[in-house]
Amino acid sequence: MTPITCNEDLRQLAMRRAPRAIFDYVDRGSYDEHTLNGNRRALDALMLRQRVMIDVDQRSLATTMAGEAVSMPVGLAPTGLTGILHADGEILAARAAQAAGVPFTLSTVSICSIEAVRAAVEKPFWFQLYVMRDRDFAASLIQRAKTAQCSALVLTADLQIQGQRHRDIKNGLTVPPRLTVGNALDLLRRPRWAWGMLRTPHRNFGNLAGFISGGGKGMTTLSQWIGSQFDPTLSWQDVAWVRSLWPGKLIVKGILDADDARAAVDAGADVIVVSNHGGRQLDSAPPAILALPQVVAAVGDRCEIWFDSGVRSGQDVLKALALGARATLIGKAFLYGLGAMGERGVTTALDLIRRELDVSMALTGTRDVREIGPQVLWRP
Ligand code: FNR
């Protein structure tokens, strides 16, 4: 096998190893994918300022996120259905994150449950909440996260209604994946994936057993289920309600607008994640990196601000920090690793980003990740 030198190598391998419908679910964005592609273009367009003759022998990437020590300013974003990209995907990703000293976030719509992930790791992880129409169920999820000693709650604000992803509809993505004449050949070409899925007990929405009709055992298309269960009436009062139930750090994710950022802090957010959901929700929303400076200007003195949507390399992390983010989350970048090589792939994805960030810091004359600021960006 040719050596893996960048995240795109992991993406290519994941494309070969995961079933097509599942790879597309990970890889693609909503509607015409203007925002998905714009995220990358806007990050690529930023340039770094080369500095020379500065002693950069001793470098540190360590910092804190929501008060927790991390080995670098990168956390694993919550991603749904991770356990069908690779058998036990959430457990493997949580283990890789723990070994790398970075946070892992478990999605509400994960395949492995809160309890299954808790049993597999020693270090507390974070739980991401989607608020359902059934508020008692949402409250019970918060309670389960507390019982599992999750150390922060991530409330996702930008998916009251799901943006349409053409690929998922065309591929008929279901949970668990359904065997049809159309996809049987594709699945046969992925024996590694199929063998893993056959052996694991985790094949359905782990946190939602007993909530989805049929005990979580039926085949449900994700968009149908989201449409029927997620609460489109969600408002800032509800965020205050979540705040009242959760004594720990509250992270509000999916903010692109300065007014929304102020409202989130007023409702009790400790951290805001500037994000367009990786280009999976409102198509033609701005690239998240272009929205970041406005949010930093609006509330940067009142809470921590993190960034996601488009990060694939350490250079991207450096750019986000230069524009005022304290840290970044990664979604697809770690999922490509997971789809390619399971836990080892997530470790590889994190190692690549760590090395890229370290080298890019050195070449911009930066010794400590906490010193990164606008001075590392090149401006004509
Ligand atoms: C996501 N994202 C997401 N966010 C969330 O709050 N809950 C979820 O269940 C999911 N599910 C999900 C699945 C997949 C396959 C992807 C790619 C993303 C969004 C995620 O947390 C994050 O905001 C984006 O992934 C960031 O963009 P990048 O890093 O993928 O470019």
49 pLDDT band (50/70/90 cuts)?
very high
Closest Cα to residue 162, out of 24, 298, 71, 282? 282
Structural domain includes residue 96: yes
Distance CA 217, CA 292 (A): 41
Full residue range of the structural domain in which residue 102 is found: 7-376
22-33 average pLDDT score: 97
Residue 197 domain-assigned (yes or no): yes
Look at residues 167, 187, 164, 190 and name the one whose alpha carbon lies nearest to residue 177: 187
Residue owning the nearest CA to atom 19 of ligand 1 = 277
Residue 1, pLDDT above cutoff 80: no
Answer whether residue 334 is part of any domain. yes
Mean pLDDT, range 225-238, rounded to an integer: 89
Contacts of 89 (CB under 8 A, 6+ apart): 82, 83, 111, 112, 338, 342
Ligand 1 atom having least distance to the Cα of 77: 21
**What's the CATH number where 247 sits?**
3.20.20.70
Q: Is residue 1 part of a domain?
A: no
Q: Which residues have a Cβ under 8 Å from the Cβ of 87 and sit 6 or more positions away?
A: 193, 196, 197, 199, 200, 202
CA of 253, closest atom in ligand 1 = 6
What amino acid is encoded at 12 in this protein? Q
- Check whether 218 has a pLDDT greater than 60: no
Domain-located, residue 102 = yes
Whether residue 372 lies inside any domain: the answer is yes
Determine the residue type at 8. E
Instruction: Assign 302 to helix, strand or coil.
Output: coil
Q: How far apart are CA 6 and CA 315, in angstroms?
A: 12
Q: 126 φ, ψ to 5°? A: -105, 150
* Residue 31 CB contacts under 8 Å (≥ 6 apart), including other chains: 163, 164, 166, 283, 284
What confidence tens digit (pLDDT) does each residue in 256-303 have? 999 999 999 999 999 999 999 999 999 999 999 999 999 999 999 999
Residue with tokens 């449900």: 220
pLDDT of residue 221: 66
Residue 222 above 70 pLDDT? no
What's the whole-number mean pLDDT along residues 224-236?
A: 86
Q: Does the residue 117 lie in any domain?
A: yes
Site to probe by mutation for ligand 1, drawn from 277, 350, 353 as the one with most ligand atoms within 8 Å of Cβ, is: 277
**pTM beyond 0.95:** yes
Query: Would you say residue 195 has pLDDT above 80?
Result: yes
- Does 2 map to a domain? no
Q: What is the DSSP letter of 287?
A: P
Is pLDDT above 50 for 215?
no
Total domains, the chain: 1
Question: With 90 as the cut, is the pLDDT of residue 47 above it?
Answer: yes
> How far apart are the C-alpha atoms of 82 and 113, rounded to whole Å?
11
pLDDT at 213: 58
Mean pLDDT computed over every residue of the chain: 94
Residue 56: name the closest of 367, 356, 376 by CA. 367
Q: Is 277 a catalytic residue?
A: yes
d(CA 223, CA 153): 24
Position 239, amino acid: V
